[in-house]
Amino acid sequence: MKKRRKLIVGNWKMNPMTLEKGKDTFKAVKKAAKGLARASVVVCPPYLYLTELAKLSKGEIGLGVQNVSTERSGSYTGEVSADQAASAGAEYAIVGHSERRAMGESDAVVAKKVSVAIQAGMKAILCVGERERDEAGLYLEHLSDQLRNSLHGIAKKEFSRVIIAYEPVWAVGRPDFDAMNGKDLYETNLYLRKVLTGVFGKETAFAAMMLYGGSVNWKNAEDIVKNGEVDGLLVGRQSLEPEGFKEVLSLIDSI
């Protein structure tokens, strides 16, 4: 796999509680990201903070959203469209996060969101991951189905605008930051690329950007990226702690 710029995406989820705190955290992240030579940083805040953070970013930190509507416009109370997110400064959209899938989002819905995000000019960060692992390896079939179905209707040339984020659900939000280890991740990374090969061919599959997410912190980030041979990270809690996040960034930048 050829070497390219790593991507570190912070998923703030429904945090922090005020815009002021969001601005402070963002400023600290921006400072931490200064001078990175081999890594780029994207922050995905709550929608409400997007416009203000875009002003602070001045293009130095990428911005993304954590979800988009399946529809592009119209009578969909409470929804935010991909085009609206893009016009507020989002260049990336996380789609199919396990916390949204747990609220009932099916692969078909996720595939539609991937498509609208691309149509709005954004890059879709498509999350996939098994709930648990079984000895017989049945989870691999689930993973394959989830990935292929979540990409249903996406053309090969559109796929260059899709980033895959492998997030094993069992590793997300662990209190002890017990993430998947790099060695196991490497195997799953190859497996996912094999599944993608079946859909888009080998060249496209191996050119795809693959991130890992699930309890990443400054202690495990290096092993995950180095030994897992992934192109970057999707970071939850640690992305809200500027000190630890800064350490993650500098470790990844030095790989």
Stretch near ligand PGA under the rule CB under 6 A, chosen from 102-110, 118-126, 192-200, 212-220: 212-220
Determine if 16 is a binding residue for ligand PGA (CB under 6 A): no
DSSP state of 93: E
Query: From the CB of 233, what's the least distance to ligand PGA, in Å?
Result: 9
Determine if 93 is a binding residue for ligand PGA (CB under 6 A): no
Residue 69, CA distances (Å) to 96, 178, 220 in order: 11, 32, 34
Determine if 244 is a binding residue for ligand PGA (CB under 6 A): no
Helix intervals (H) in 63-207: 82-87, 98-101, 107-119, 138-150, 182-200, 202-207
Q: Name the residue number minimizing CB distance to ligand PGA.
A: 236
Q: Tell me the number of residues near ligand PGA by CB under 6 A.
A: 12
The Cα 221–Cα 156 span in angstroms is: 31
Query: From the CB of 10, what's the least distance to ligand PGA, in Å?
Result: 9
- In the set 216, 221, 249, 251, which binds ligand PGA (CB under 6 A)? 216
The Cα 92–Cα 32 span in angstroms is: 20
The closest alpha carbon to 90, from 113, 114, 116, 66, belongs to 66
Q: Is 97 a catalytic residue?
A: yes
Interface with ligand PGA in residues 148-167 (CB under 6 A): 167
Q: Is 142 a catalytic residue?
A: no
